[in-house]
Amino acid sequence: MSSGYCLASRMRPLPEVRDITLADEAATTRLGAALAQHVGAGEALLLSGDLGMGKSTLARGLIRALTRPDEDVPSPTFTLVQFYEGAPPVAHFDLYRLEDPEEIEEIGLYEALDHGAVLVEWPERLGTGGAEALSPDRLSVTLEVDRAGRRAHLTGHGAWAGKLKELHV
């Protein structure tokens, strides 16, 4: 009986999954603002989806909810990262132009987690296992085309598994 207990204690909790229909750009912004209510320091939010799916719109809604409604939130496609003082501080990374996962060390992604939360567009550029290595408390958001417009497929790991259950959009 004790071996079963040890095995159970080593198992990671299952991730929580949730799908949300996004009728328009305003709905995507509202989702970002709703997610901001649950963001904590040391957490990673990973935004995936094809070009034009709304990753930057969702990021802008989240960052403005953490900082101030009129915050200038440009896409960090060319700068790779933008930092914002909020509660918690958030670093917004766009890895689209990243050519090698080893470049992550140079742009300060891991250090940013030590000081606040990170929001990462194009997390697939982190390489195999890269997203898992960022933080055990992470939320993956995949934006896709849906019959009703767009759909956000959310997968919460660690603390985000419970937070997804509390999310009101």
54 contacts 22 by C-beta, under 8 angstroms: yes
**What's this model's pTM, rounded to 2 decimal places?**
0.85
Question: Burial, 118: exposed, middle or buried (Cβ in 10 Å; 0-12, 13-18, 19+)?
Answer: buried
57 contacts 150 by C-beta, under 8 angstroms: no
Token readout for 54 is: 């709304």
CA 67/CA 83 separation, integer angstroms: 11
Q: What are phi and psi of 13, to 5 degrees?
A: -60, 150
pLDDT > 90: what percent of the chain?
51
CA 160/CA 125 separation, integer angstroms: 22
Angle at 168 between CA 71 and CA 142, to 5 degrees: 70
In tens, the pLDDT along 16-28 reads 999 999 999 999 9
pLDDT at 71: 81
Residue 161 has pLDDT above 90, yes or no: yes
pLDDT band at 101 (very low <50, low <70, confident <90, very high): confident
In tens, the pLDDT along 79-92 reads 788 998 988 999 99
